[in-house]
Structures are given as structure tokens and as C-alpha cells.
Homo-oligomer: A and B are copies of this chain.
């Protein structure tokens, strides 16, 4: 890295992927505060709480302060750990900010990789005047007033009209002879903008668990509002398989589930837009991404194909559906655009993430993982992208874990071992510890390995002082019962097995893609972790438990809700949308359930240390 200017230095922040500017000799915390990167901290920057830890990967800082020497262990200091409020900037820096040092909100906002595409939305607004002001040849119809006004913009030649839109435009032009703002989408007239309002578009990331909605003003591209709601289908199955099974038993239920999620969206949008001074009637387009099962269940498509091998979706093409045909209460002519599903278990959400992160254009080889109940993995090598879906199961979401819970108030979200080998837990919010969330249990496994309570096979070491028992099963108490946290929080041997299976599935998928591409993991230049869970977890933890090949920490970047970002890009750019559609057809999909080496890759990937995984892999490779 080269110094720039006299006193100005640049700080490259990982895993955010941001570069910010600072001045020589100011402390790192003040740079970050100025750049609105919010770190955890309870002491107001006085160096007494020790929460704003950073890892200096490259560049020089001042020597450790007294406060740092007290709060950080010798090994931490040797590895480059510093406190942001103490370390002084001495030149350009490359800094890694552990998840534990970022406040939760900051982690959700992590979107360093996303750049909005050039603004060129398929929905366009054209101003037209009533009959009074027409010039040139006599107008041939109400519609010709509009095309005369904005002909070029909308491609008057090939213009199509939605019947509802046509009515609205005609009434608009005739009521008071005033000006109308006509809304077109890809050359189709949809209607008029409500006086004083704007034309909105909504990007939806329809997850199995959560539905995220983002509204944008389509004349400017500006974000108007966003919100998230639980997927209202959840009562019929927390996971995809249960939900599909529910529908397979009785096809009619497919319509019920579709209605549930559509009504949920109606309600959420209505509230969210009203709060922002808009109406659902102002929405002219929705772009919806989701995994393929959610895509099918939203549309009420048959799901037989998704439930059995070869796990084939009904369509691999993009769909455009009138919102009214889906019972969405938006503008009567509004369209819903659904980008193509890639495969039965690689959905348009992953496609959106691939596009949002510009995976194809990045300097490769580059990996993109969207970790969840199904973990989609894509590997780009020389512009070619292979992808697969790993059945990681719901353990990462806290399900199937004895005290698992969502990442909500009271969840243990991080576990560390102090210098004395004691476990320290980090709990979300102010509530007493009530359970453990996905990132917490990954962190716990890393800590237990470090403390020696856990063997690399995943067995809790009998006789280790940290290992005791819960309900007759070997377990480690992260929060002992009684002491503040009532019943306590423990990780049991079964919990560990569940996480091993989940992380093993992901590792196996990554290994399979690397093997198919014929490159060793050492060639990978970048690893992108997308999705909510990928943003909350601590990359150091997943490396510690060998969930990924031993990548250098600094090539791992957390890119936030890339699927949502991709959906928003599709809303704001027709070109982005077209490129996504093309890309969908070019992806090489690897169906792991039909990939013979998978079983052995999976078995090896269950080990919890890199040495053990490598040993197991080498055994069958030879």
C-alpha cells in the first residue's frame, strides 16, 4: 500500500470491503466514527471495556498502550489485535474488524460490495398534457397525446397498453384537462402517477424464514422505505422440505400457502408505504427473488418436481405476472417480475446475489456462499461459474439445537475463551441469556476446541473440566444455571453433531466445486459470505472449525444481503435484469445428490480441525 498525501492515509476495512480516509496520528476509532462504522463499546473510547478489538493485517500503528496491554492477552497482541480507541494511525492500514466488535445493526448494513447499477429502470414516467395543448397533426386518440409527449422514451411504435392503465390515463386526461404523468414499463402503458405521489417499485427477497421488502422511487431510484416480516407460511413448516411436504399431501394447500404470503406482503407494504407517505397504489412493479421452493409456493406452482430427484423446477425462465393475478393490492396494472430459478435448490435469490456481487467479473477464482438451511455456493474460475446447493439443514438458524433460538434478544451470539481458559459469552440485547443462535453456536464450537473441551472428531472430551452433563448427555455449560441466567445455556453433544453435519455439508460443497473446477483452495482469491447469517457470523469462527478450506482470513468478505441488493438492482436497471437472465442460462449447476464423491467429502468435512479434515481427505484421494 502506498501513502497518499502528506497526512492523509487510507484504511481498508475488512470484511466490509470499504476504503476510508483518515489522518496520520488520529486513533482508528475516530476514523470509523466519522465514516459511520459503528463499533461495539461501553466505555466511550477510554480504553477500559476492551470491546472495540481490531486485527491489523497490514500497515503500521503506534505501539500498544497501557490499556491495551491490560485488556489484551500476549497472544492477541502478537497476532496484531488492537483496540480501535487506542491504536494510532501511522500510515495506510488494512484492518479486519471482527463481527464481535461491530454493533448488530452495522453488520446488517454491511453492503460494501454492492454498487447500484446505472439507473435505467424498466418503469418510466412520461409527462403528457390533455387534448387542449396538442400540436401538429390532430391527435388520433387519448393515447396519441401521451405518445406525442413521450414517444421516444417509451417506443411509441411498439407500445402496448394495459386495459386498466388505459382507463386511468383516459380519465386522467379528461378530468380538468390537466397534465398526467403516464407510467410505462418496457413499452407497456400501466397507468398514471397519483397527483403529488411518485411511481414506486418494490424489491422483495422472499426467504423461507423472512421476507425483506425494499421500496424505491422509480423516477430517481431513491430508496423510500424498507421492512422485513416473518414469512407467514412458517406455521406450515419452518423449513422448505416440511412446507413442500404439506402441499404435496393436498395440492389445494398450495393455493392457501400462496395466499398467506401474498396477503402478508400486502399488509407489510401497506403499512410501510403509508408511513413513508405513499400508497400501495403507487407501486407499479415488484421484483421478487427467492429460493426455488419459495418462488413456486408464492406463485402456486406445482411442487412435485422439487420434492424428488432430479429436483427440477417448473420453469427455468423469468416470469412476468400481473400483480392483480396474484392478489397483490398494488396499482391495478402493476407487474411482478421474477428472475429465473437456476435449479430446484438454487433459486433466483442466489442468482441475484451472484449479480449483485458481480461474481462473474471479479478477479477469480472467487467463491460466493449464501449460508442458510440450504447453502448455495458458487465458484467462479476464469469467468465460468459453477454452483451447487448444500443441504446444510436448519442448525445454523438455531433449529434442532437443544437451546437453539433465533438471533434475538437473549441469544448467546458469541463465545470466547479468556487467558485463563474460561468461557465468556456475548448476549444479544439486555435480556438474560435464554438460548443460543447460529453464530453463537459456531463461536461456541470454536471456543470449546480452543479450550480443549472438544476433540477434532466432535466428541466432548470425557474428563475435561469444561465438560459436564445435561439431561444425561455430555454437554458444556456456556452459562451455568442459576447465576443470572436462570436455567443456563448449554451446548450438548447432539448439538455439536448437528452443527458438524451442517458445516460438513457446506465444506463438502465447496470441495466439490473446487474439485470440479480442478483448482486447489490456495488459488481462491476471494470468499464472499452473503445473507443475514453470513453477515452475523464471525469468519474467524468458521475458519476455526474448518467449515471452509483454510483460506486466509483477509480474503473473506461479508457482503450482507446480496440477494436483496440484487433484487433492488434489477428493479433499477433493465440492463442488470437482462444480464442476470443471460447469466442464469450460463451457470453450471452441480447436483450434489447425484455427485458420487459427495459421501466421502462429507464424511471428511465433519472433522472440526483443518488437520483432521485434510488427513481424512488425503486418505481417500490417494
Contact = CB atoms under 8 A, between A and B. Distances in A.
A138 B143 CA distance: 47
Nearest to A254: B167
Nearest to A338: B163
Interface stretch (A199-207, A295-303, A389-397, A534-542): A295-303
Contact of A142 (B138, B169, B312, B319): B312
B300 A167 contact: yes
Contact of A305 (B138, B170, B341): B170
A163 B313 contact: no
Taking chain A's interface residues, is the majority helix, strand, or loop, or is none over half, making it mixed?
Answer: mixed
B141 A312 contact: yes
A131 interface: yes
B160 A320 contact: yes
Interface in A315-344: 315-317, 319-322, 324-325, 341, 343
A161 interface: yes
A605 to B, nearest CB: 26
A474 interface: no
Contact of A325 (B144, B163, B312): B163
Contacts of A170: 301-302, 304-305, 314
Contact residues on A (Cβ < 8 Å of other chain), bracket: 35 or more
B301 A141 contact: no
A300 B302 CA distance: 34
A153 interface: no
Given A140-B343, A171-B302, A305-B142, A166 B312 contact: no
A302 B321 CA distance: 26
A140 to B, nearest CB: 4
Given A138-B591, A141-B314, 17 more contacts: A138-B310, A139-B312, A141-B313, A141-B317, A141-B341, A142-B312, A142-B313, A143-B316, A159-B317, A161-B319, A163-B299, A167-B300, A167-B301, A167-B302, A167-B314, A170-B301, A174-B305
Interface of A: 131, 138-144, 159-161, 163, 166-167, 169-171, 174, 299-302, 304-305, 310, 312-317, 319-322, 324-325, 341, 343, 589, 591
